[in-house]
Amino acid sequence: MQTIPIRYQVSKPILAGKEREYVTDVLESGWISSSGIYINRFEQAVSSFLRLQEGIAVCNGTVALHLACLGMGVKPGMDVVVPSLTYVATANAVAYCGGRPVFADCDLLTWNVTRESIEAAWTQRTVGVLLVHLYGLASPALEIHALCAERGAWLIEDCAESFGAQIEGRAAGSFGDTSTFSFYGNKIVSTGEGGMVFVRDPVRRELVRQLKGQGMDLNRRYWHPMVGYNYRMSNLTAAIGLGQVEMAGYHLAERRRIASRYIKNLGVLEREGLVRLPVEPPGYLNVYWLFCLVLQSSEPRSRERIQEALLGSHGIETRPFFVPMHRLPMYDYGQHLSHSEFLGDRGLSLPTYSGLPDDAVDEISEIAVAVIRREVKR
The tens digit of pLDDT for each residue in 9-67 reads 999 999 999 999 999 999 999 999 999 999 999 999 999 999 999 999 999 999 999 99
Cβ proximity of 138 and 309 under 8 Å: no
The residue among 330, 328, 282, 22 whose CA lies nearest residue 166 is: 282
pLDDT of the residue at 301? 84
Q: Looking at the domain assignment, is residue 88 inside a domain? A: yes
Average pLDDT, the chain: 96
- What is the percent of the chain with per-residue pLDDT over 70, rounded to a whole number? 99
Report the DSSP pairing between strands 284-285 and 166-167: antiparallel
pLDDT of the residue at 185? 94
Average pLDDT over residues 131-157: 98
pLDDT of the residue at 126? 98
Q: Looking at the domain assignment, is residue 4 inside a domain? A: no
Q: Looking at the domain assignment, is residue 232 inside a domain? A: yes
Cβ proximity of 161 and 289 under 8 Å: yes
φ, ψ of residue 273 to 5 degrees: the values are 75, 20
- What is the percent of the chain with per-residue pLDDT over 90, rounded to a whole number? 95
Within this chain, do residues 267 and 341 fall inside the same structural domain, yes or no? yes
pLDDT at 333 over 90: yes
pLDDT of the residue at 378? 66
CA–CA dist 82, 95 (Å, integer): 11
48 beta partners: none
CA–CA distances in Å: residue 77 to residues 84, 94, 97, 127, 137: 20, 11, 10, 10, 32
CA–CA dist 18, 242 (Å, integer): 8
Domain containing 274 — which CATH number? 3.90.1150.10
φ, ψ of residue 170 to 5 degrees: the values are -100, 140
Report the DSSP pairing between strands 178-182 and 154-158: parallel
Q: Looking at the domain assignment, is residue 6 inside a domain? A: no
Within this chain, do residues 270 and 319 fall inside the same structural domain, yes or no? yes
pLDDT at 1 over 60: no
Within this chain, do residues 214 and 328 fall inside the same structural domain, yes or no? no
pLDDT at 367 over 90: yes
Average pLDDT over residues 330-334: 95
Q: Looking at the domain assignment, is residue 132 inside a domain? A: yes
Domain boundary among 195, 224, 245: 245
Domain containing 144 — which CATH number? 3.40.640.10
Within this chain, do residues 119 and 203 fall inside the same structural domain, yes or no? yes
The 10s digit of each residue's pLDDT in 220-276 is 999 899 999 999 999 999 999 999 999 999 999 999 999 999 999 999 999 999 999
Q: What is the per-residue DSSP string for 248-286?
A: HHHHHHHHHHHHHHHHHHHHHHHHTTSEE-----TTEE-
Domain boundary among 226, 245, 264: 245
Within this chain, do residues 182 and 292 fall inside the same structural domain, yes or no? no
Within this chain, do residues 315 and 332 fall inside the same structural domain, yes or no? yes
Q: Looking at the domain assignment, is residue 276 inside a domain? A: yes
Q: How confident is the model at residue 192 (pLDDT cuts 50, 70, 90)?
A: very high
* HSE (side-chain half, CA atoms, 13 Å) at 52: 33
Within this chain, do residues 317 and 297 fall inside the same structural domain, yes or no? yes
Average pLDDT over residues 98-109: 98
Q: Looking at the domain assignment, is residue 268 inside a domain? A: yes
Q: Looking at the domain assignment, is residue 5 inside a domain? A: no
Within this chain, do residues 133 and 282 fall inside the same structural domain, yes or no? no
Instruction: Please give the residue range of the domain that contains residue 354.
Output: 248-376
Within this chain, do residues 115 and 240 fall inside the same structural domain, yes or no? yes
Number of Cβ within 10 Å of residue 28's Cβ equals 8
Q: What is the tally of structural domains in the chain? A: 2
Within this chain, do residues 198 and 260 fall inside the same structural domain, yes or no? no
The residue among 261, 280, 287 whose CA lies nearest residue 368 is: 261
pLDDT at 329 over 70: yes
Within this chain, do residues 267 and 370 fall inside the same structural domain, yes or no? yes
Within this chain, do residues 301 and 170 fall inside the same structural domain, yes or no? no
Domain boundary among 215, 230, 245: 245
CA–CA dist 127, 213 (Å, integer): 26
